[in-house]
Amino acid sequence: MKHVIEELEKRRENARLGGGQARIDAQHKRGKLTARERIELLMDDGSFEEFDMFVEHRATEFGMEKTKIPGDGVVTGWGTINGRVVYVFAKDFTVFGGSLSETHAKKMTKIQDMALKNRAPIIGLFDAGGARIQEGVDALGGYGEVFTRNVLASGVIPQISLIMGPCAGGDVYSPAMTDFIFMVKDTSYMFVTGPDVVKTVTNETVTAEELGGAKVHTTKSSIADRAYENDVEALLQMRRLMDFLPSNNIDGVPELPTRDSADRLDPSLDTLIPDNPNKPYDIKELIHKVVDEGDFFEIQDAYAKNIVVGFARMEGHTVGIVANQPMVLAGVLDSDASRKAARFVRFCDCFEIPIVTFVDVPGFLPGTAQEYGGLIKHGAKLLFAYAEATVPKVTCITRKAYGGAYDVMSSKHIRGDVNYAWPTAEIAVMGAKGAAEIIYRSELSDPEKIKGRVDEYQRRFANPFVAAERGYIDEVILPRATRMRICRALNMLRNKTVENPWKKHDNIPL
Ligand code: HXC
C-alpha cells in the first residue's frame, strides 16, 4: 500500500510541475502566476479539488507522441469562494502554451457540464495560444464543443472569464460568450488574429498591447469589463464579485449581513444637485451614499462613462445599479452607453437581480456620428432590455429626464415598478430653451420674448409634478430619504411575479 501511495504522490508532484521548472520560472519572470497558484488564490483555502490531473493528449503528428505532459495544458476542478461552490478551469501556459487539444477540450467541457448540471458558476482563467497547432481539426472541434456549452449555460449560471496572459484564436471566442471578461494590465491581451497576421493582411504595424491589451479592450472595444494591476488583485476582485452574484437563475441573489440600517438618512443628498441646472455632479456620490456600506462593484468603469453600471447591495441583497453620469457628456445616452447598460440590465434580469436606476439624462446624443453609427438600434437595445425585464425595477429621477431617454430609463411606461423623483426632477420632452425655440420659432428674432417663453416652459415642466399628477411618478421623495425609500420598495417587491408571453426567444435588435 505504501508503495502505491508513494507512486500516487510522485505522479501528482510531476503533474503539478506542468511544463517544468524552467517554464514556471519564465512565467514568474513575466509577472504572472502559474495556473495552480492562481486557483489557490481564487478559491477558499484548501477547497480546490482538481479533476483529470493525469489526462494526456492522444496526438501522434509532428512527434507529439514523444511529448506528453500530464494535465495537457489546463487545470480543472471545483472549490468554494466564501463557502459557495464554483467550478474553475485555468489554462497552464507552461504546457504547450496552454493551447487547446482534443483532450484539453474534454477536460474543459467536463467542468462546464458539471457546472451547468449542478447550477453553480464557472470561472475560466485564460493564458493560452489558441488551438493546438499540431492537432488541426481535433482542436477546432474541441473549441466548438466548448462554445456550445458556453451558449447553453448562458443565462442559467454566471460564466466569468479572467484573461491573464495572451489569448488568441479560439481562446477569445469562449470568453466573448461569457457574462463578464476581466483582464490583467500589461500581461494580458486578446485578439482574433495577432500582429503578424495583421501586418500580412492589412499592412498595419501594431504591437500586441496596441492590438488587444487591457487598455484597448476596457476603453475602446468594450470587450473587457475591467482591468486590474496584477494577477493577485484580479483574483481577489473575482472573489469580491462572486459575493454579489447568484449561483444560478433560480436560487436568487445571495444575502450578506450588513450593519448599514435600511432607514439611514443622508442629509448631504439634499444639496447634491447644484442650483445651476447645467452644472454637473457626480452620480457615484449618490450611489455610494445609498447602497449598503458604500460597497459598489462597477462594471465597465473605463468605457462609456456617461452611464454607470455595477453591483451593490440594499439590506444585504444584491441589486444592479444603472445611473446616468452628469459628469460625462452631461449624462447623455449615446450608442456606447446604451449598449453597455442594455447588456448589464439583461444580465440582471437573467439572474433575478433587482435593478435600481438613477436618472439624470438630457436625452439621446444628436449628430451624424451617432446616427450613422446606429444610435436608433443601440438605443433600442436599452429600451428593449428594460421593457422585457421582469425583475423588480425601482427608478429615481434626480434631475433631468428628457425626451425618449425618459421613457427608456426604466420609466413607468415600460414596466418600472416603483418610480420616484426628487423635487429637483425635470420631466419634459426636451430642455426649456430648445422647446421654446421650436414652439415659438416665429418669435426667435425677439430675444426678450423668447426668454419669457423659456421661463414659462421651465416653470411649467421643469418639475416632477406634472408626471406625478398623472401617476407616472409614484412619489416625490426627499433626497435624504432615498436609501430608505428604495429599501422599502425592494422589500415590497420581493415576491414580484410577472411572466412575459411564451416565445422561443425574443428578437432584441442586435
Ligand atoms: C501549440 C503552442 C501554441 C499553439 C504556443 N505554443 N501556442 N503550441 N499550439 N497554438 C507553444 C510554443 O510552441 C512554446 O512551446 C510555448 O507554447 C510558448 O510559446 P511562445 O511562442 O514561446 O511564447 P510567447 O512568445 O509568449 O508567445 C505566446 C503566443 C504565441 C503569442 C501565444 O505562442 C503564438 O502566437 N502562438 C500561436 C497563436 C495562434 O495563432 N494560435 C492558433 C489560433 S487559431 P515551447 O515548447 O517552446 O515552450 C485558433 C483556431 C480556433 O485558435 C478558432 C475557433 C473559432
Contact 246/253 with Cβ under 8 angstroms?
Answer: yes
Q: Give the burial class of 104: count Cβ atoms within 10 A of its Cβ; 0-12 exposed, 13-18 middle, 19 or more buried.
A: buried
Residue 278 has a pLDDT of 85
Let me know if 105 is a catalytic residue. Answer: no
Angstrom distance (rounded) from CA 37 to CA 129: 20
How sure is the predictor about 169, in pLDDT bands with cuts at 50, 70 and 90?
A: confident
Best residue for ligand 1 mutational test, from 100, 133, 135 (most atoms within 8 Å of Cβ)? 133
Residue 254 C-alpha cell reads as: 445571495
Atom of ligand 1 nearest to the CA of 144: 54
Report in angstroms the alpha-carbon separations of 131 from 93, 126, 135, 141.
Answer: 13, 13, 8, 10
Range 154-158 average pLDDT: 98
Let me know if 331 is a catalytic residue. Answer: no
Residues 361-375 have pLDDT tens digits of 999 999 999 999 999
Residues 205-245 have pLDDT tens digits of 999 999 999 999 999 999 999 999 999 999 999 999 999 99
Residue 455 C-alpha cell reads as: 421661463
Residue 354 has a pLDDT of 98
- Tell me the three state secondary structure of residue 396: strand
Angstrom distance (rounded) from CA 463 to CA 400: 9
Judged against a pLDDT cut of 90, whether residue 432 lies above it is answered with no
How sure is the predictor about 396, in pLDDT bands with cuts at 50, 70 and 90?
A: very high
Angstrom distance (rounded) from CA 209 to CA 186: 7
Contact 95/56 with Cβ under 8 angstroms?
Answer: no
Contact 297/311 with Cβ under 8 angstroms?
Answer: yes
Nearest to residue 414, comparing CAs of 472, 358, 490? 472
Residues 1-56 have pLDDT tens digits of 788 999 999 999 999 999 999 999 999 999 999 999 999 999 999 999 999 999 99
Q: Top-level CATH class of 2-242?
A: alpha beta
Judged against a pLDDT cut of 90, whether residue 414 lies above it is answered with yes
Higher pLDDT, 265 or 457: 265
- Tell me the three state secondary structure of residue 173: helix
Atom of ligand 1 nearest to the CA of 19: 48
Contact 109/149 with Cβ under 8 angstroms?
Answer: yes
For every residue of 72-129, DSSP letters joined together read TTEEEEEEEETTEEEEEEEE-TTTGGG-B-HHHHHHHHHHHHHHHHTT--EEEEEEE-
pTM of the model: 0.95
How sure is the predictor about 89, in pLDDT bands with cuts at 50, 70 and 90?
A: very high
Choice among 19, 71, 169, 363 that is catalytic: 169
Angstrom distance (rounded) from CA 87 to CA 151: 17
Residue 309 has phi, psi (to 5 degrees) of -135, 150
Question: Is the beta carbon of 431 within 6 A of some atom in ligand 1?
Answer: no
Nearest to residue 329, comparing CAs of 378, 370, 292? 370
Angstrom distance (rounded) from CA 307 to CA 429: 20
Instruction: List where CATH 3.90.226.10 sits in the chain.
Output: 2-242, 267-425+463-492
Question: Is the beta carbon of 140 within 6 A of some atom in ligand 1?
Answer: yes
Residues 462-491 have pLDDT tens digits of 899 999 999 999 999 999 999 999 999 999
Q: Top-level CATH class of 267-425+463-492?
A: alpha beta
Angstrom distance (rounded) from CA 162 to CA 201: 29
Residue 418 C-alpha cell reads as: 416603483
Angstrom distance (rounded) from CA 321 to CA 297: 10
Choice among 71, 98, 170, 310 that is catalytic: 170
Judged against a pLDDT cut of 90, whether residue 247 lies above it is answered with yes
